[in-house]
Amino acid sequence: MELHLIIHGQKDLAGQLYRQLREAIDTGRLAPGTRLPPSRLLAEQLGISRKTISDTYAQLTYEGVLVGKVGSGTFVNARMPRSDRRQDSFRFASQANIDHWASLNPRLSHPGAEGTAKADFIGGATTQLQFPQEEWRRCVNYAMRQMNTPRGHYSRPEGIAPLRDGIARHIAYARGVNCQLDDVMVCNGAQQALDLLARVMLRPGDKVAMEDPGYPPARLLFRMLGAEVVGVPVDAEGMQVERIPDGTRMIYSTPSHQFPLGMPMSPARREALLERAVELGALVIEDDYDSEFRYEGRPTDALQRLDRHGVVAYIGTFSKVLLPELRLGYLILPPSLFPAVIRARQLCDWHSSTLPQWALAKFMAEGYLLKHIRRCHGIYAGRRERILARLDGDLSPWLEAVPSVAGFHLSALFRQPTKVPLLTELARKVEVGLYGLAPFYDREPVRDGLVLGFGAIDTLDIDPALDKVRDLLQQLG
């Protein structure tokens, strides 16, 4: 790679070279430890004499800016302090819009490993201790061999065929989804699927109905694209369909495991939702984010299976069954939407990285995914049972569990008004991560409660952590 220097004319060659190298080093463009090109190579690149290069290097070495290493070359002195110089903060004509985006609070941003508590009830997170590292490594090696075949072209926007086929088979088996390979699009997580659907379906001012409480990143996304988001209350049967307003163009729902409260949508409500969508000409987004894990009752098929008119787009993700860092999800589209979403995907990022796609396709084909889900199901079931036992036991004077049969989080409502922010702050001081329900509400009266995730917390940490929560609740009265 060539070093970017520009020499003008034939005068003051050494001075030009010196000033540009010194400026690049002082501003940090050439970082400490960077190796400079050999004098012969740089002379050929710039079309000046090798002696001019050597003299300039010698001057900068004398000043302590460069350092020569016998047999290795000339380097920027590793002891040079990094420059804090930055460009001025320019105010663009679109500054109001920039400030609006910068001020957004996604609310569900996960902290890094250093920001988590020792016993963390964070929702939507899994633990790497259950991840099948050896099996995944073999599948990644297989993917590398696939990548070594001579292609040199972009891949298909909808994803590679082996993975799409594997997804279609998996969700037909696990969730009763009615689809084939040609209905599947691989996405960079569920959030990209939401973004693609919103871009295709919505214009500024269009109405989107979504559950309240609901998933904040979806709500923010729709609003930032100019939509009017209308919160629809939920009750024990799920979304109150009769309160979806006229003029709605898109309906976002989590029927199998309402997010964040956890109750499933009743069969009557499911039928009513589909009828209302057909009446409005609206698209229903079914976000089925963690329903592979089910603990009680008879399995419930996805809402998409009941769809006879092609009004449901089904979204799934591998973030909950594998790891969020993989950033792989999928979208099952009605036939009428597929061509438009393909075009939107090409304009967005063309396609997801093919290396993890090949690896995941192999992982599913070898049966590793189902084996991993079964293993995690047993672990999560034990953790869930332990939390419910405590909520029905010594924590029952304060908290009541919301009925839930799937996923790896559950919600609990306080029986009386409670200062939840104070509780979570005090819990953090004793290394317990607690999360309130309030951030998930938009306009409905907020219910005081907690979201208790059990995907990332170790089973042996649950009882000691809940002992601390009980003690804090006693102190708060």
Radius of gyration of the chain (CA): 28
Q: Kindly state the DSSP code that residue 30 receives in the 8-state scheme.
A: S
At 300 the pLDDT is: 79
Domain CATH code at residue 436? 3.90.1150.10
Q: Evaluate whether residue 401 is within a structural domain.
A: yes
How many domains would you assign to the chain?
Answer: 3
Whether the full predicted model's pTM is greater than 0.75, yes or no, is yes
Mean pLDDT (whole number) for 271-287: 97
Q: 253 with 281, same domain? A: yes
Token representation of residue 463: 């009882």
- The top-scoring range by mean pLDDT among 86-90, 115-119, 404-408 is 404-408
pLDDT over threshold 60, residue 260: yes
100-152 per-position pLDDT tens digit: 888 877 655 555 554 567 889 998 888 778 889 999 999 999 999 988 876 66
Q: 175 with 315, same domain? A: yes
- Helix (H, G, I), strand (E, B), or coil: what is residue 294? strand
Last residue of a domain, one of 365, 383, 407: 365
At 114 the pLDDT is: 46
Q: Evaluate whether residue 105 is within a structural domain.
A: no
At 6, the pLDDT band (50, 70, 90 cuts) reads confident
Domain CATH code at residue 281? 3.40.640.10
367-400 per-position pLDDT tens digit: 999 999 999 999 999 999 999 999 999 999 999 9
Q: 355 with 435, same domain? A: no
CB 181 within 8 A of CB 280: no
Cα(297)–Cα(280) distance, integer angstroms = 33
Q: 210 with 158, same domain? A: yes
CB 420 within 8 A of CB 439: no
168-226 per-position pLDDT tens digit: 999 998 888 999 999 999 999 999 999 999 999 999 999 999 999 999 999 999 999 99
pLDDT over threshold 60, residue 85: no
333-372 per-position pLDDT tens digit: 999 999 999 999 999 899 999 999 999 999 999 999 999 9
Mean per-residue pLDDT over the chain, rounded: 90
Last residue of a domain, one of 315, 335, 365: 365
Q: 286 with 169, same domain? A: yes
At 70 the pLDDT is: 86
Q: Evaluate whether residue 164 is within a structural domain.
A: yes
Q: Kindly state the DSSP code that residue 83 receives in the 8-state scheme.
A: P
Last residue of a domain, one of 315, 342, 365: 365
Quick one: which of 174, 185, 159 has its CA closest to 372? 174
Q: Evaluate whether residue 158 is within a structural domain.
A: yes
Q: Evaluate whether residue 431 is within a structural domain.
A: yes
At 418, the pLDDT band (50, 70, 90 cuts) reads very high
Q: Evaluate whether residue 301 is within a structural domain.
A: yes
Token representation of residue 7: 């020499």
Q: 303 with 189, same domain? A: yes
Q: 339 with 441, same domain? A: no
CB 252 within 8 A of CB 287: yes
Q: 348 with 375, same domain? A: no
The CA-atom distances, in angstroms, between 267 and each of 302, 331, 407 are 11, 23, 19
Q: 379 with 361, same domain? A: no
Range of the domain at 51: 13-76
Q: Kindly state the DSSP code that residue 441 receives in the 8-state scheme.
A: -
Angle between helix 368-392 and helix 354-365 axes, rounded to 10 deg = 80
Q: Evaluate whether residue 134 is within a structural domain.
A: no
Mean pLDDT (whole number) for 433-456: 92
Q: 192 with 316, same domain? A: yes
Q: 181 with 311, same domain? A: yes
Q: 175 with 319, same domain? A: yes
Q: Evaluate whether residue 96 is within a structural domain.
A: no
At 324, the pLDDT band (50, 70, 90 cuts) reads confident
